[in-house]
Chain A
């Protein structure tokens, strides 16, 4: 009997996605067929992929060879537990996003729907292949396919110059990253010339070359993930893309880069060195702090979320650094704890950030407005979106009982044990990093409050918002799916940890599951219950009870005495919804406290202004410190080369002639 292995199912899923994309191309203008048939089918395939990897988790690796590509260079594929965790993430997040997309794309917006369908499903298939690839060649092909298809998705609305600019920036940095990854693979294969991952695993590089390969991987994958200083494309590309695409990029694509980093650090390079952990932690902390600070001061809702993605990737990099440190010093249980925090945060972020990006999509469609300063009070018009966004916001702020809390709590637990590191200054410095992580978590809460409060609460800042409508059925279904995932990740941490433990065990040789299992499914105590434990259901019950009690009390005490009247108006005569706190005003304290971190251009109104206005523009220091000098340098080099290319045939001939003579003289026997 021919048995269908999980890896075959996943290959069929990738093939089906490609076929769905091509099917969209068959009738590129048939809007109903594409949005109501192909996208839901894609979502079903995504669920299938997710369920397959769910059933696979915990079993041994499977391999397959796919005879496509160049002759003699077939695609080697391999499904192991690490890949399965990320396939799980991809499948479940993509299911929600695809269902949402079925209702999201509108007739006559941007590219032809058939083209969008092709790019979107190609993107999904490429991401799946990245996770399954088992040789450098297949990996790079899938990786580039992913970059290209997402580039086209970002530039869907290519009629706007700024979107083209964002797309160009994205493509540029994606290629810088791809070159770094290619060089990294080249180094790892240099000994044997074998480009399969099995060959790379088999050999061990000398420390210098291993470190060079790891740093290249950090640069290459960091460029895709959005680590400092190659993060600049992220806040440009995410707002430019349609919301389901932003959700897919932020929720899933960034995680493929994390996957690559894990694959190289723990699987392909063999034993990591301790200082890699310090580097990863330093880069991660800088990224997290930078991302969260910039996300608090944004006034465009999608840019705010994009910077928040940078922050979350930074936290994941911190967890990676911690894992590397513990692993290098052979503290297996703690390394497993940090790795669990890392994988958990990947899953959590994929859920809540996709959810939030999709919510901005619904808001964008309902109001045609992205600027926070023109939104407000939408909870009255869009209750579905508002309440579901609340789930994402709570998770994003790292509050119990939702998913973000669990991973950040696990990460901080890992930090609490870092004084045990057998290194004189590391065990002093690393706990300071924990303080920075705590600061980042607090600021992330601030950014989320700002996002939610200004978009959904308060009064409507513009008249036009009165016509806003709630999300459609498809959109709602996608949002509910992601919110439910976020909720489950929050309240069932022990179950989830037991699932992802297979990957931890594969990479580190130690897991958390046995410890976790000891205390039953309702209590999470990663090291021992005496030190720290978390019972999500208790939290949930207490929170629910407190809310109900409060509501009950309010009803009892104020029943019948409730009346609506204008709020206290500080003695001003004119008071409209515009008098509410603005996005800029809300974050002003943060901007003031962290002033040196920002590059600001402000315009203050003066008494004599006919039409007084206030504006503030916050820019990234990296543009002026790193990117503009680099661009000027490249420009200068190109100018020199233009001088070489004078346009005269005689000169060109002379170049080759002189080269010939020099070569002849040099190669003289």
Chain B
């Protein structure tokens, strides 16, 4: 492996690092609105990283993916979530099942696991962005962790969407993105999922007068 790393690869690694950093930031963020902003920022970074990959490899369809990411993840979904928060008048504090420092420690362990798992795969890959596979996997896991430890509905949805960000990053870094059809399909799925979840929030709110999903435990069959 040559010691001189081209600029584009350095940029990609930089953006990947930013995405990982944002994933940790989201894990640590207690308040709902900043959380959504962090998610939007992650989407934007993802878009930039995809652009760099597209530019340096000349893969034309990646420009489309980048545009899709920008519109959907950096603008549309955050906007929908903002509106939801305003309509539902969510209290800003987010309670977690596990306190923040412990969550962060678990997150670090997860990152180590992710790098460990991704190392052999990224050695096989020949793409310019292969080093970021570990980061992509780590951000998927961190988003998953967020879904587990948060008890309120909106942070869970943000976790779900952030997981998709991680998947997208993995796809770009390992194989220069998925086929356009698949990407469009996933984008649509995420959008529809967010909308449906939004409807559910209203229903949960109607029923329990709160968005705490711990109320859903009552639905269990006894």
Q: Give the B-binding residues of A (Cβ under 8 A).
A: 645-650, 653-654, 657, 660-661, 664-665, 668-669
Contact = CB atoms under 8 A, between A and B. Distances in A.
Contact of B149 (A646, A647, A648, A650): A650
10 contacts: A649-B156, A649-B213, A649-B216, A650-B148, A650-B149, A653-B144, A664-B113, A665-B117, A668-B117, A668-B120
Interface in B170-222: 213-214, 216-220
B139 interface: no
Contacts of B216: 647, 649
A668 to B, nearest CB: 6
Contacts of A665: 113, 117
A649 B156 CA distance: 10
B67 interface: no
B145 interface: yes
A662 to B, nearest CB: 11
A664 B114 CA distance: 9
Contact of A660 (B144, B149, B218): B144
Interface in B117-132: 117, 120-121, 124
Nearest to B147: A653
Contacts, number: 41
Interface in B26-70: none
A650 B117 contact: no
A648 B217 contact: yes
Interface residues of B, number: 24
Contact of A650 (B97, B120, B124, B220): B97
Given A647-B220, A668-B120, A657 B149 contact: no
A648 B156 CA distance: 13
Contacts of A660: 141, 144
B148 A657 contact: yes
A657 B216 CA distance: 20
A316 to B, nearest CB: 45
Nearest to A652: B148
Interface of B: 97, 110, 113, 116-117, 120-121, 124, 137, 141, 144-145, 147-149, 151, 156, 213-214, 216-220
A653 B141 CA distance: 12
A175 B120 CA distance: 47
Contacts of A649: 156, 213, 216
A645 B219 CA distance: 12
A645 B218 CA distance: 13
B220 A657 contact: no
Given A665-B117, A668-B117, A668-B120, A654 B148 contact: yes
Given A647-B217, A647-B219, A650-B97, A669 B121 contact: yes
Contacts of B151: 650
B203 to A, nearest CB: 15
A37 to B, nearest CB: 47
A648 B216 CA distance: 7
Nearest to A663: B117
Residue among A648, A653, A665, A669 with max Cβ neighbours from chain B (10 Å): A653
Nearest to A650: B148
A645 to B, nearest CB: 7
Contact of A648 (B116, B141, B214): B214
A522 to B, nearest CB: 70
Given A650-B149, A665-B113, A668-B120, A657 B144 contact: yes
A647 B145 CA distance: 18
Contact of B148 (A653, A668, A669): A653
A347 to B, nearest CB: 50
Contacts of A645: 220
Nearest to B213: A649
B220 A646 contact: yes
Contacts of B148: 650, 653-654, 657
A661 B120 contact: no
A645 B222 CA distance: 11
Nearest to B217: A647
Contacts of B120: 668-669
Contacts of B144: 653, 657, 660
Contacts of A657: 141, 144-145, 148
A669 B116 CA distance: 11
Contacts of A664: 113, 117, 137
A650 B150 CA distance: 8
B222 to A, nearest CB: 9
A647 B222 CA distance: 10
A635 to B, nearest CB: 15
A661 B113 contact: yes
A664 B141 CA distance: 11
Given A660-B144, A661-B110, A661-B141, 17 more contacts: A645-B220, A646-B217, A647-B218, A647-B219, A648-B214, A648-B217, A649-B156, A650-B97, A653-B144, A653-B147, A657-B144, A660-B141, A661-B113, A665-B113, A668-B116, A669-B120, A669-B121
Residue among B113, B141, B148, B220 with max Cβ neighbours from chain A (10 Å): B148
Contacts of B124: 669
A647 B218 CA distance: 8
A669 to B, nearest CB: 5
A51 B141 CA distance: 70
Contacts of A654: 148
Contacts of B214: 648
10 closest A-B pairs by beta carbon, nearest first, are A647-B220, A647-B217, A669-B120, A653-B148, A664-B117, A657-B144, A650-B148, A653-B147, A654-B148, A649-B213
Contacts of B218: 647
Contacts of B156: 649
Contacts of A650: 97, 148-149, 151
A333 B110 CA distance: 75
A650 B156 CA distance: 10
A282 to B, nearest CB: 44
Nearest to B124: A669
Contacts of B121: 669
B104 to A, nearest CB: 17
A485 B145 CA distance: 74
A646 B220 CA distance: 8
A657 B144 CA distance: 7
A653 B124 CA distance: 31
A144 B79 CA distance: 53
B171 to A, nearest CB: 17
B127 to A, nearest CB: 17
Contacts of A648: 214, 217
Nearest to A645: B220
A289 B213 CA distance: 61
